[in-house]
Chain A
């Protein structure tokens, strides 16, 4: 692939991006790119710099330093052109609750100067994508949280943007609505839209083509979910279920053993990272009265805990 092709396939390109608010560095020299048509996930705790990065890419914030290209354009050379090519769903606000679905969509269309026939067509398409069942003359405040997010997505799509920036689009939405929303996002990606999404639901992140893990303004890992798991966990991972009535010092003994790298609580169970497979087999046989061990594949949550929290 030559350089030209690569540039054509890149929706977002960021090099050494830094954003400072006074003496606080929100984003610290991050570099990454997003391919077009990709679902790119930004994972991180609150305050890790996810929203700040999105705000820079949407032209809402001027970076302190670094280079940014969005849809091949430099925001410094004209924000309007960038704004016309991106759709943004913010974390805090989606739609005006005291206006109807129709009115909200009409308003979004007017802000982008979309002619009324085009608006009608895209609105119909959008509502079909989300399989909208309620009345469009209904006030947004009467919609469920999930439907509201979906309508907001339609509003963000009205001007047919190349890239969608979704900042925690599923926060506070029911699990069923969340999986519905993600199937819509996957559908958009199939249609060639680039989707840049932040979340802190680890299970959702599995939907992303690639994921950047952020901590304190830096990207600490960036890859597809499978590679992230493989790279973070070269060692086997076991899920331990304590036997009922077992004494509590088994955990202490286990942690002391050289075969075990770390044991982290996981609800009622534990996840143990094993450094020496042979020793572990002996050990688990010896301690079979204390817990039941089951080999598992690491989830993104394991990855997140190990990479983000382990780096502290």
Chain B
């Protein structure tokens, strides 16, 4: 005669858990403070748009043309110009990290320009930071054509002009790209961490044994313990959502239902991982370290949140498929920027459904095996 799973008991455990959360400022602070901090920090600090680039110029010509060229740089709005006389090594501003680029205008530059001869100007760019270097290189092309028309009245009118238009993020605002993706990292960390900690705590202080000495069913323990944290995870996502939309002004083009569904699957998958961690470690400190490792590293590196998956070697591209975060980033960017519908998000959602089911099944089995004599 087996006692069936009883929802009242699960509810009693959930209710007790809410009391723990309510009386422990750390848990609540972690669940809601961490998303707030990370989104603000990452959102404000991780700006790939480059402006105010320090540029040192050596003008050995001092002609009208050379001054016009420098003005072109200045008026572009991207550069902060500093003119210096050429003494010693031209790479010195780069060596001393005073400038990201150096502009060298040779003597007789103006004469060449006026006589419409080939008038080369050297630009040295600091290549240590290649994302900035790439952006500076891109700006140079624009400035070159501006300078041509201004200095020599040569307006280049090529036969073929490519006119790119960026869809979904017309200004290529990097925050639009990072903030929604950040949700994957933040939610993964708090889901795995809170679950691992709450179960590990019951092991550590011995209350798990007392729970198990009553007729309570392992599934009721899991349901009761996880339910409040699912709510907490969804609240954290809501917080991120409001920050993204109303603080960073990121548009939300897609369906809220899909957004919530995706979040739920993602949170469930990581909570199951947290449960696995706690079954394995049974200690809060270890559970915390494990959770940070599993929650943080693969989700930052392999989710496509920062580093494009398409650029990875084939092996890593396949590897990313094993992480729910990769699929979640697709769902979340789809919902925010693309306005994707169910058909377009079917693959990532199904992948997450599959993984969440798999993780939950494995975790529940391991937990049951662990607690049943």
Query: Which residues of A are at the interface with B, using a C-beta cutoff of 8 A?
Result: 55, 58-62, 78-81, 83-84, 86, 88, 90-94, 96, 98-99, 103, 106-108, 110-113
Verify A92–B373 contact, CB threshold 8 A: no
- Which B residues, 187 to 223, have Cβ-Cβ distances below 8 Å to chain A? 205-207, 209-216
Q: Are B6 and A113 in contact (CB under 8 A)?
A: yes
Interface stretch, picked from B17-25, B88-96, B163-171, B259-267, is B17-25
Partner of B12, one of A60, A61, A90, A107: A107
CB of B207 within 8 A of CB of A93, answer: yes
**What separation, in Å, do the CA atoms of A110 and B7 have in the docked complex?**
11
* A96 lies within 8 A of B207 (CB): yes
B16 → chain A, closest Cβ, in Å?
A: 5
Given contact pairs A60-B212, A88-B213, enumerate 12 new A-B contacts (beta carbons under 8 Å).
A62-B373, A78-B1, A79-B373, A80-B1, A80-B2, A86-B213, A92-B206, A93-B205, A96-B16, A98-B19, A110-B9, A111-B216
Given known contacts A78-B1, A98-B19, is B215 in contact with A84 (CB within 8 Å)? yes
- Given the contacts A98-B19, A98-B24, A99-B19, A93 and B206 also touching, CB distance less than 8 Å: yes
Contact B215 A83 (CB under 8 A): yes
Most chain B Cβ neighbours within 10 Å, of A62, A92, A107, A110: A110
Q: Is the CB of A60 within 8 A of B215?
A: no
Q: How far is the CB of A232 from chain B (nearest CB, A)?
A: 34
Give chain A residues whose Cβ lies under 8 Å from the Cβ of B129.
Answer: none
**Does B3 interact with chain A (Cβ within 8 Å)?**
yes
A to B CB contacts below 8 Å, 7 in the list: A58-B213, A59-B213, A86-B213, A96-B20, A98-B20, A110-B8, A111-B12
Which chain B residues border A59 with CB–CB below 8 Å?
Answer: 213, 373
Tell me which of B1, B8, B23, B209 contacts A60 (CB under 8 A). Answer: B209
Residues of A within 8 A of B23 (CB): 98-99
User: Which residues of A are found within 8 Å of B215, using beta-carbon distances?
Assistant: 79-80, 83-84, 111-113
Chain A residue with minimal CB distance to B213?
A: A88
Contact between A99 and B16, CB atoms less than 8 A apart: yes
A88 to B212, CA, bound (A): 10
Complex Cα spacing A55 to B206, Å:
13
Bound complex: CA A79 to CA B212 (Å): 11
CA distance A93 to B211 in the complex (A): 10
B207 near A113: Cβ-Cβ < 8 Å: no
In the complex, which residues of chain A have a beta carbon less than 8 angstroms from the beta carbon of B11?
110
Residue of B1, B11, B205, B215 ringed by the most chain A CB atoms within 10 A: B215
Smallest CB separation, A283 vs chain B (Å): 53
Contacts of A58 in B (CB 8 A): 213
Residues of A within 8 A of B205 (CB): 92-93
Which chain B residues lie closer than 8 Å to A107 at the CB level?
12, 15-16
User: Nearest CB to that of A63 among chain B residues?
Assistant: B373
Q: CB within 8 A of A113: which of B2, B8, B206, B213? A: B8
With a cutoff of 8 Å between Cβ atoms, the chain B residues found around residue A79 in the complex are 215, 373
Shortest Cβ gap from B83 to chain A (Å): 67
CB atoms of A90 and B16 under 8 A apart? no
- Nearest-neighbor residue (CB-CB) of B373 within chain A: A62
Give the total number of A-B pairs whose CB atoms are below 8 A apart: 74
Interface string of B9-53 (1 = CB under 8 A from A): 101100110011001100000000000000000000000000000
**A88 & B210 in contact (Cβ 8 Å cutoff):** yes
Asked if A90 and B373 sit within 8 Å, CB to CB, the answer is no
Q: Which residues of B contact A94 (CB under 8 A)?
A: 210
A81-B1 contact given A59-B373, A98-B19, CB 8 Å threshold: yes
Q: Do A61 and B373 touch (CB < 8 A)?
A: yes
Determine the distance from Cα of A231 to Cα of B315 in the docked complex, in whole angstroms: 76
Contacts of B16 in A (CB 8 A): 96, 99, 103, 107
Which residues 204-263 of B have a CB within 8 angstroms of A?
205-207, 209-216
Q: Given the complex of chains A and B, what is the CA–CA distance between A56 and B52 in angstroms?
A: 72
Distance (whole angstroms) from the CB of B182 to the closest CB of chain A: 32
Contact call A111/B209, Cβ cutoff below 8 A: no
Chain B residues within 8 Å of A88, by CB: 210, 213
A85 to B205, CA, bound (A): 25
Which residues of A are found within 8 Å of B12, using beta-carbon distances?
106-107, 110-111
**CA of A84 to CA of B3, assembled, Å:** 11
Question: In the assembled complex, which residues on chain A have CB atoms less than 8 Å from the CB atom of B207?
Answer: 93, 96
Return B206 CB to nearest CB of chain A, in Å: 3
Residue of B nearest to A78 (CB): B1
Q: How far is the CB of A103 from chain B (nearest CB, A)?
A: 6
Find the B residue at minimum CB distance from A112.
Answer: B214
Q: Which of B49-79 contact A (CB under 8 A)?
A: none
Residues of B within 8 A of A90 (CB): 206, 209-210, 213
Among A78, A86, A107: residue with most chain B CB under 10 A = A107
- List residues of chain A with CB within 8 A of the CB of B216: 111
Residues on B with C-beta less than 8 A from A96 are 16, 20, 207
**Cα(A91)–Cα(B9), bound, Å:** 24
* Minimal Cβ-Cβ distance residue in B for A91: B206
* Residue contact A113 to B9, C-beta cutoff 8 Å: yes
CB-based nearest A residue for B11? A110
List chain B residues, Cβ under 8 A from A61.
373
Tell me how far the C-beta of B208 lies from the nearest C-beta in chain A, rounded to whole angstroms. 8
State A80–B12 Cα separation when bound (angstroms). Answer: 18
Tell whether, in the assembled complex, residue B2 and residue A78 are in contact, meaning their CB atoms are under 8 Å apart: yes
Q: How far is the CB of B212 from chain A (nearest CB, A)?
A: 6
Given A90-B206, A107-B12, decide whether A80 and B20 contact each other with a Cβ distance below 8 A. Answer: no
Instruction: Find chain B residues with CB under 8 A from A98 CB.
Output: 19-20, 23-24
**Contact A92 B209, beta carbon cutoff 8 Å:** yes
Which chain A residue shows the least CB distance to B3?
A80
A312 to chain B, nearest CB (A): 31
CB-CB under 8 A from A60, the residues of chain B are 209, 212-213, 373
Whole-angstrom distance from the CB of B163 to the nearest CB of chain A?
64
CB distance from B218 to the nearest CB of A (A): 12
Residue of B nearest to A61 (CB): B373
Residues of A within 8 A of B373 (CB): 59-62, 79
